Chains A and B, each alone.
Chain A
Amino acid sequence: MIGVSGIVNRVVDKHGRDKDMLIQILLDLQSGFGWLPREVLAGVRKELGIPLTRVYQVATFYKAFSFAPRGRHRIRVCMGTACQVRGAPLIRDRVQQVLGVEPGETSPDMKFSLETVNCLGCCAMGPVMTIGDEYHGHLTISDVEKTLDKCK
């Protein structure tokens, strides 16, 4: 077992222990742990020799970082302009209704987290949502329940 500090150490090494690589280091840790626990952030501070405030300043600025564990299924509803004009708000409301969680929340049983995002870059297929890495395009309100059934 290499433990949290071992993992942090390894990731910081991979990026040459370079302070300029803070964002890249945090991205790797985020994707490894699925979120950024306190001890990970403290570990980064220690390894890079920078103030903890700087680690938090960066980590709280960017959207990729999460300070709470995410659910097993990460559901993202695209709210980009192309999806918006094709009815994304109605899709979002329906997903919220079916899952019973608000955007930004994770269900108490840790099964799914719901997020709304600005653009998934899949604009021709709008409205779009992703479940994990899977894209679901051309959604209608009546598709939502069926599509979400997979992770219920």
Chain B
Amino acid sequence: MESWHYTIVIVAIYAALILWVGTGRWTKVGRVAMDDYFKVAPGFGFVVLYLGIAGGFHTAFAIPGSMGFYYSHGVAFAANILWTVLTPLGVIYFVGARITCLGRKFNYITPADLLVDYFGDGRFRGFIAIYILSCCIPLMTANVTGPARLLSSGTEGNIPYWAALLIMGGMVIVYVTSSGIRGVTWTTVAQAIWMFIAVWGAAFWCLTLIDGNLLTLFNTIQETEPALLTLPGPQGLATPQWWTTWPVFGIALYWAILPRGFMFFYSARDVKTTRKIGLTVGFYLMALYLPSLVIGFTAFHFFPGLTGGDADNSFPLLLATYAPAWFAGLIVAGGLAAGMSSMDADTNANSAMLTKDVYASFVKKNATDRHYITVGRIFVVLLVGITVTAAAFNWGLIVLMIGVTAAMITQLLPAVLAVTVPMGIRFTKAGVTAGIVAGCIISLTALLGGRVFDFGILQMTVPNLLPESWTRFDASFLGLAFNVPITLVVSRFTDGPDPENVARIRAALNEEFRPNLK
């Protein structure tokens, strides 16, 4: 047998395990209801949801992206510690628990359900759903690209890139259409465990390549590229402006309010479960990224001088050159786990939004739940098809598009906080809508300003409207800097939400989070 045969065997074992876990009897329920397909009506307990959230929040950025980041920018990646801790202890513990509270109390299914229940239904629902959907497709595309490349290079090209995409997409379609959020969560439990073992296994294997001594690795890097050991890194990425805005505003604040986050929070058994996950999931998240430094620096030690996409591919190159075939297979499967665990969660969440917020609200109202679930399954196939097709093109824009997703989702934060955290500040539908639109325009201008897009017959340059010194800050932060004041000013002069809705939602939050206040 050739070495790549072993890789294929291990990946096949992984695929069989995931399909078994994602379609087994534990993923089935007797009742046919939207709230038991897109989310889990009775709720998941701590362990399952912990691993579901831990794995589901990880994208292909975990494997191999994080290693490539360390390779290119060195310890600047330590900024990740900020979001791996800030998000659980701040956003999940404080905001996620409130989303769980309202989701369980009022049986929300989509993120728009929560916002329109407070601000009022109608076209606002369509706006929120389309806005969220438009920012999630690029993220889904980026998520499958890295693992598909890993699988293709891990099998020495015998599984072509396009076939790797089809394998991942096909598996996601099978278990998401079969079992909805249950299939997503149970497979993500298995994927979270697999990718954790893969990353730590890879780090220890890297140590054996450099005589098992971290100091040897440090000294080698200090001799060849000392800029990797301090900020701002060899390419000057981690400036104070970047460091103080990217990990907090570009990742931490958007990451937990992605649609997949809402679905997980809605699927918690109770508020206590979400709060316990907020208090503890940071240990998993931080531990997953710590070994990446050893892997990234080891790749630099053996293959210095790679740039751009080649730098991102440094870890797969290290595996292909030095790792035993069975071990490379384990890591490749870990990479698939990282990509698929977020792709399936995103697909389920986006399918729920298309079904409930668009189809059931504007196309066919008052149909049966069975009908809507069938439509939801069709949307799953459609979304995976779009994702795989988009990923098949060699876009140079994918990394940029992840930034677009982050910047756009972050603009929803004031609206989410307005609903979930009573704070004595007036927020209106017109206010949050104006804030979202303004924040989106500013952040996209910061991201895309000055760039030239070549569409063959049409070449387009996006005007650079912001001062150059501003664009050193993260685009999400810049967007929020405009979003918040505009939201507050417009809210001051426009009609507020229905007082009955506000009172009902605040009473639910007070009962849970201010229990001794009457």
A and B held together in a complex: no
